[in-house]
């Protein structure tokens, strides 16, 4: 399964005003990076991979349609999957993107190779 093109287009619109956004195929989806850091990604499983402040993980997991991202048996605070049901309208998607962008902007830019 490929990523959701509609979700990709919605993400492009929300990130259009941001500087240094790049797109890259990662984890079977299409990721959006800010200054080299992954922020959000249209997942191959139909949801949104979102990077947030690890300190906010537990509070976000209490929200509907949210789970920790899994890589094999491994999970990490700050990396969440939001299922499609949690992205039904622009306000929901925009809130996740804004949360991620705010956190990623607090990180030092990655050096370009």
CATH class of the domain defined by 5-105? alpha beta
In this model, does residue 99 exceed pLDDT 90? yes
For 53-86, what is each residue's pLDDT tens digit?
999 999 999 999 999 998 888 999 999 999 999 9
Task: Round the average pLDDT of the chain to a whole number and report it.
Answer: 93
pLDDT at position 46 is 85
pLDDT at position 108 is 92
pLDDT at position 103 is 98
pLDDT-derived band at 1 (thresholds 50, 70, 90) equals low
E strands, 1-113, where?
A: 21-26, 29-34, 37-42, 48-51, 66-71, 74-82
Rg (CA), the chain: 13
In this model, does residue 34 exceed pLDDT 80? yes
Average pLDDT over residues 17-46: 93
Q: Where are the domains of the chain?
A: 5-105
Helices 5-15 and 90-105, interaxial angle, to 10°?
60
Nearest partner of 8 among 37, 39, 29, 35, judged by Cα? 29
pLDDT at position 27 is 80
């Amino acid at each position: 399964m490929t990523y959701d093109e509609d979700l990709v287009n919605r993400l492009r619109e929300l990130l259009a005003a941001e500087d240094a956004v790049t797109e890259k195929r990662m984890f079977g989806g299409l990721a959006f990076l800010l200054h080299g850091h992954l922020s959000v990604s249209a997942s191959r499983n139909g949801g949104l991979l979102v990077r947030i402040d690890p300190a906010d993980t537990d509070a976000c997991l209490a929200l509907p349609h949210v789970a920790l991202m899994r890589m094999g048996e491994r999970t990490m605070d700050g990396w969440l999957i939001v299922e499609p049901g949690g992205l039904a309208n622009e306000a929901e998607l925009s809130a996740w993107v804004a949360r991620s962008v705010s956190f990623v902007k607090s990180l030092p830019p990655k050096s370009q190779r």
